[in-house]
Amino acid sequence: MSAAQQACLAAALVTGYEVLGRGASSVEAVEKTIRVLESSGLFNAGIGSRLQLDSVRRMDASIMEGHRLRAGAVAAIEQIRHPITAARLVMEETEHVLLVGEPATRFARHFKLKLDRQLSPKRTSFKAVRPRQVSGPTQKTLDLYRVMRIRRTVGLETVGAVALDRAGTVAAGASTGGIALMLPGRVGDTPLIGCGVYADNVAGAVSMTGVGEGIIRIAVAKEIADRLAAGASPAAAARSVLKKLVTRIRGAAGALVLAPDGRFTIRHTTPRMAAGYWGGTGKPVVKDKFER
């Protein structure tokens, strides 16, 4: 973790805490915290999102609150500086949970969400071919993926947050630009409720980071929440589910876990995970390695 990333995480924690201090909701605190990270360009989210194999930045985000179990998410959204805000708008302005692709981008633009030139499409140009021909953009992209897929990446810098407000409502959110070398159209765990995020006042709030394919296959966020609801501590719930992720499918992930009574844990199976917490006094605690 660089000094700039450390400072940005600390600033995000202060932002979220101040929102809660004003009596605002945990949803607003989660959104505002993640917006700081999306704006920084220091993480794989917002303006720092990675390019996919066709040289386009497509982003995913989700948010959920634990009182009425409302949730909103976007996947493969383009050009929008704050996908987490688009996800909140899906939750609050529609009856849906997930919007994807160009319609999600149009939805965000309808609400006049801020665009960013750094996120404008820069699609790779290919020679035009007849539809019946095999050798086209899709084939070239697939070939590139096959050549480069051996490069495995962990510590993917998806950003996320969990919060508990004065009313006792928990919330969780996450935002990402995906993973390195991803095929256009690939969607990870971040926008999938129960995989990348989950929040329930009976159980707690969970926000995940890591290799999404493994997180999806175990529905990690929901499984951690279920164990919290059954009486496990945040540390025990996260530890047992992350162990299952590793032993069953050799997955790699990190988790922010917050119980309704304020107990929390930060756990990861990756070598490092940049994260932090703050209780409002002293300086925010920001590290890139927590108990595994």
Query: What pLDDT, on the 0 to 100 scale, is given for residue 171?
Result: 97
Output 148 or 3, whichever has higher pLDDT: 3
Contact 274, 268 (CB under 8 A): no
Check if 158 is active-site: yes
In whole angstroms, what is the distance from residue 180 CA to residue 94 CA? 32
Q: What average pLDDT does the structure give for the chain?
A: 86
Q: How, if at all, do strands 170-176 and 197-200 pair?
A: unpaired
Quick one: pLDDT at residue 270?
87
Across the beta sheet with 197-200, what order do the strands follow? 197-200, 204-210, 253-258, 264-268
Of these residues, 158, 169, 209, 265, which one is catalytic?
Answer: 158
Tokens in use for 212? 């999404």
> Over 60: is that where the pLDDT of 67 sits?
yes
What are the tokens at 97?
Answer: 């949970």
CA distances from 38 to 58, 131, 138, 157 (A): 13, 38, 30, 11
Percent of the chain scoring above 70 in pLDDT: 86
Element of type H or E holding 200:
strand 197-200
Instruction: Find the mean pLDDT for residues 30-54.
Output: 92
- pTM value is 0.86
- Domain ranges in the chain are 3-125+142-287
**252 vs 236: CA distance, rounded Å:** 17
Q: Taking 50 as the threshold, does the pLDDT of residue 60 lie above it?
A: yes
Alpha-carbon distance 145 to 218, whole Å?
25
Looking only at the bridges linking them, the beta strands covering 275-277 and 204-210 are unpaired
Angle at 34 between CA 89 and CA 212, to 5 degrees: 90
**Whether the predicted pLDDT of 117 surpasses 90:** no
Mean pLDDT of 52-80: 95
**What pLDDT is recorded for position 120?**
56
pLDDT tens digits for 136-159? Answer: 445 544 443 344 343 333 334 789
CB 275 within 8 A of CB 10: no
Looking at the predicted structure, is the pLDDT value of residue 272 above 80? Answer: yes
Contacts of 44 (CB under 8 A, 6+ apart): 50, 156, 157, 158, 159, 176, 177, 178
Q: Calculate mean pLDDT across residues 3-27.
A: 93
Class of 3-125+142-287 in CATH: alpha beta
